[in-house]
Chains A and B, each alone.
With several copies, the nearest count.
Chain A
Amino acid sequence: MKVDLVYFAWVRERIGLPRETVETDAATIAELISELRAREDRYDLALSDLGAIRAAADQQLVEFDHPLPGVREVALFPPMTGG
């Protein structure tokens, strides 16, 4: 399946692009992240510490074990600092 990925803040800077579309069979967001980390060092650098990353599936905050099938857009970013 195709999934749109969007990155923010230092996740975006380390990966080097703000969005991309990937082809994946990952069952969860955690599996998707593992696939990304295996692709290139810049992904590994950006996503190695899951404690420093948050994920959203179709604009809703989710845990990493969230199922991927059916999700159109996954966002990966550092903890939010609004306000």
Chain B
Amino acid sequence: MAVRIQSEPLDPGAELTGFASGRRDLGAVVTFTGVVRDNDAGDLQRLEIEHYPAMTILAIEAMVTEATARWTLGDALVIHRHGPLAPGDQIMMVATAARHRADAFQAAEFLMDYLKSRAPFWKKEVTRDGASWVAARDEDEDALSRW
């Protein structure tokens, strides 16, 4: 199990290659990669991600611990970037490995839902016209109720 917060670029392909490699007991590996989407006007210059360093890893480790209590996981990985990102950049990724696919899928979805609304990150969109903070979405908060 590993949690990393970094400003450096994220290489999901390389992370997947290294994740749970050499394990002969885990039949299922799921990854989720979050990518910076351009805005509807197509003029997003960058996304700036702020976080709460003293809390971030603690909060995500608690989510991973909860996921391993709920599902039978062989390994889990969460990487989240902060700082400035461009459209098309990878913001974050989650990887889960389990004997069976249902555990790997559900744990990855659980971690994503909690990361969206309970990990201390905030996103600011910068365009030619200025900067604005991304508002939390009701549907992201609602997604937590299924767990």
Q: Is A21 an interface residue (CB 8 A)?
A: no
Tell me whether B115 and A81 are in contact (CB under 8 A).
Answer: no
Chain B interface size band reads: 20 to 34
Known: A8-B50, A83-B91. A77 touches B133 (CB 8 A): no
Cβ–Cβ < 8 Å partners of B120 in chain A: 8, 56, 75, 77, 80, 82
Cβ–Cβ < 8 Å partners of A59 in chain B: 52, 54-55, 58-59
CB of A52 to closest CB in B, whole Å = 9
Tell me whether B136 and A61 are in contact (CB under 8 A).
Answer: no
- Which chain A residues numbered 30 to 83 have a C-beta less than 8 Å away from chain B? 56, 59-61, 73, 75, 77-83
Cβ–Cβ < 8 Å partners of B92 in chain A: 82-83
- How many residues on A have C-beta within 8 angstroms of the other chain's C-beta atoms? 17
Known: A9-B124, A9-B133, A77-B122. A82 touches B55 (CB 8 A): no
Residues of A that sit less than 8 Å from B by CB: 6, 8-10, 56, 59-61, 73, 75, 77-83
